[in-house]
Every structure is written in C-alpha cells, then in structure tokens.
Amino acid sequence: MANKEELIQELSDAIISCKKDAVLAAVEKAKEVMEPAEIIDKGLAGGMNEVGVLFERGKLFLPHVMMAADAMTAGVAVLEADMPEGSESKKLGVIVNGTVEGDVHDIGKSIVSTMLQSAGFEVHDIGRDIPLMNFVEKAKEVKANMIGLSALMTTTLPGQKEVIELLKEEGMRENVKVMVGGAPATQAWAEKIGADCYAENASEAVTKAKELLL
C-alpha cells in the first residue's frame, strides 16, 4: 500500500492533470489511509496551489484552472460525507472578493476567488466595477472575515483605500481583514492605506488569507 507522501503526491498530480476521474480515484485510494481533512488540505489544496503557480508562469491557462477547481470540488464533495459535523476544514473563513468601481477587469480576480474557494474558504465573488459601499454591505450580510479588493488601473486604485475608510466608518474594520491586489497595487501601497495584506497572485492570496484567518 502507498504511504502518505506518495498518496499526497498522487492527489496533487491528479489535480494538476485537471481530470476529475483521476482526482476521484486518488481520493478513494487516499481515504483508506488518510483523514478527509488531511486529504483536502495536503493533497487537493496542495495540487491547486501548484495549478496557481503554473498559471502565473503561463504553463496552464484559465480553462485548466477552472477544470482543476471543478475536479477539486468533486473530490471535496466525496469527502464531506465522511467529515465530522461542523468540521473546521469545511470552511476556513468567509471572504467577499471583487473588483472596485470603475474597473472592469475580471480574470485575475476570478482566479483568486476560485483558488480561495478550492482552498476551503467560503467566497462571495461580487464581480467587477462594484460600488465601494457594496463591499461593506456584502461583508455585513455574509459576516465576512475578509474583503479582497482588486484594482487593475492606477485610476481605480484609490477605491481600495476608500473601502477601508468605509469599514472604519461602519465600525467593522477591526473584524474584517482587507487584502488588496492588482497590477498597480504593491506591498508599499497596502501598508500606506492600512490594508492587512497585499497578494501578487492567486497562490499568494491563498497563503496570505490562511495566515490572517487561521
């Protein structure tokens, strides 16, 4: 029988292959040796992180990312039935994600949402060109732990700062982390506006979200 390291590698490779059948077969095999939470966290999520890295390097494209995410969702669904009631692995946190008002760029933000969801977060992707107050209202509605703000143009970048100000006005800032991203955003910008973190790409967004919320 394969050991844990081999099974984790097999799960990861199955996700990277973007093939649902391969993922389901690897999950069934791993179930004999590993706990569901471990299969998701170390195997499936690990593979999804690698998919994110390959996408950033131009080795995989958006359809591959979506297929890998779909395959992971199928694998997680198989495991959920075996997980204890109210298991923490089911939901790591609640994140509202979107592109700020005036900015219609969508693809990078959508990949970040997909990756966060695949990693075990409950993600509410509210789309692009979103009025700033809508981020705050949605965060209230779903009791979000974090808001992700994407801006792809220097002219829309100040919208990220304004959402943080709105959160302060609503008395929510202490309870809601803010992640910023997009081409013109930088670590220095995040620090300047008082955001909790800056993520350069989708795999980094998952790492930073886990650091802040777990």
User: Count of domains in the chain?
Assistant: 2
Partners of residue 122 on adjacent β-strands: 94
> What is the pTM (predicted TM-score) of this model?
0.71
Q: What is the pLDDT of residues 113-169, one digit of tens each?
A: 888 887 889 999 999 999 999 999 999 999 999 999 999 999 999 999 999 999 999
R_g (Cα) of the chain, nearest Å: 18
Specify whether 99 is located in the same domain as 20.
Answer: no
CATH assignment at residue 110: 3.40.50.280
Are residues 100 and 23 both part of a single domain? no
Number of C-alpha atoms within 13 angstroms, CB side, residue 87? 17
182 Ramachandran zone, left/alpha/beta (phi>0; psi -120 to 50): left
Structural domain range at position 82: 4-87
Q: pLDDT tens across 181-192, in order?
A: 998 999 999 999
pLDDT of 105 = 84
CATH number of the domain where residue 62 is located: 1.10.1240.10
